[in-house]
Structure 1
Amino acid sequence: MTQKGYEQIREELERLKRVERPHVIALIAEARAHGDLSENAEYAAAKEKQSFVEGRIRELEDKLANAQVIDTSNLSTEKVVFGVTVTIMDLQTDEEKKYTLVGQDEADLKDGKISVQSPVGKALIGKRVGDSVSIVTPSKTVEYEILKITFE
């Protein structure tokens, strides 16, 4: 994963531990004060939220413990590699798209981040500016030309 992705996961983990966990504990205590727990919807909701928060904390701790942070600062922009931002053009529609190739945990298509394990990511790896790539999707085959490779 990238250093930025590592930092984002670490920040989310800290927020969950310092803000969300104490908040959920307070919700449980407040719901307990209302009496009979067997018919207490607030208590059940608070316990469910606690379960989600604790599960997410464990998941993030595991990701950070097993993370391999790749330093992209000294990599070349000659060809597409992990961590680059690549600008491509759909050869059928002349539409330009810009993607950053990241690890699976960082992928977010809305933010322009695609996994190197995705079909598009796999097709782009190792290619150079000017190269064309064909990506087979369930509905059609798409042709792209690589316009630019940068690190952002």
Structure 2
Amino acid sequence: MADRPRLITPQGLARIRAEYGQLFGEERPKLVETISWAAGNGDRSENGDYIYGRKRLREIDRRLGYLSKVMKNAKVVDPAVQPDRDVIRFGATVELADEEDARRTFTLVGDDEADATNGRIAWGSPMARALVGARVGDERTVRLPAGEKSWEVVTIDYPA
């Protein structure tokens, strides 16, 4: 099965590239040096630096593989050039109000850059899927783990 494109904002791709560069260019070489030093100290079976270093190296290599795959399949979508700014699409920042007029603000971003605690929800999440295509004043019902909840779109913003 071919890998599907992963939507991502330019800022999200920049963060992923920065993490890749930091791991590959800084952390991994230092770790390889530490492992080489530890291996030269004799018995590796009880050498904590060697054992931990090898484990951490596997973690870094696994993360580098994942980040490489994300960058390879990334489809950068710049929300600043969204032509129809009245409709919720990828990259939109949306303010919603529920039945009790409690307000929440979300930005729809790629799955690899989602951070719900900072108001960045994944493009593939149930909330985002329910909101796509909505306009200001539209009401959408979202099926959440706690049950269904209705939200009204109050504002839609895109970066300048």
TM-score higher than 0.5: yes
Unaligned runs of 5+ in 1: none
Equivalent residue in structure 1 for 2:115, among 108, 118, 137: 108
Does residue 64 of structure 2 align to residue 57 of structure 1? Answer: yes
Equivalent residue in structure 1 for 2:41, among 34, 43, 47: 34
Give the structure 2 partner of residue 5 of structure 1: 12
Query: Cα RMSD between the aligned structures?
Result: 1.2
Alpha-carbon deviation of 1:43?
Answer: 0.8
SS at match of 2:107: strand
Q: Deviations over 1:31-86 (max 9, x none)?
A: 22331012212211100000011111111111111111112222122010011111
**Aligned residues: percent identity?**
34
Q: TM-score, normalised by structure 1?
A: 0.93
Alpha-carbon deviation of 1:115?
Answer: 1.2
Conserved 8 A contact 1:90-1:144: yes
Alpha-carbon deviation of 1:89?
Answer: 1.2
What is the distance in 2 between the residues matched to 1:49 and 1:30? 15
Equivalent residue in structure 2 for 1:90, among 93, 98, 108: 98
Letter in 1 for 2:98: D
Bigger shift: residues 46-55 or 73-82: 73-82
Alpha-carbon deviation of 1:141?
Answer: 1.5
Letter in 1 for 2:91: G
Letter in 1 for 2:44: L
Give the structure 1 partner of residue 124 of structure 2: 117
SS at match of 1:149: strand
Q: How many residues in Structure 1 have an aligned counterpart in Structure 2?
A: 151
Alpha-carbon deviation of 1:119?
Answer: 0.5
Q: TM-score, normalised by structure 2?
A: 0.89
Conserved 8 A contact 1:98-1:112: yes
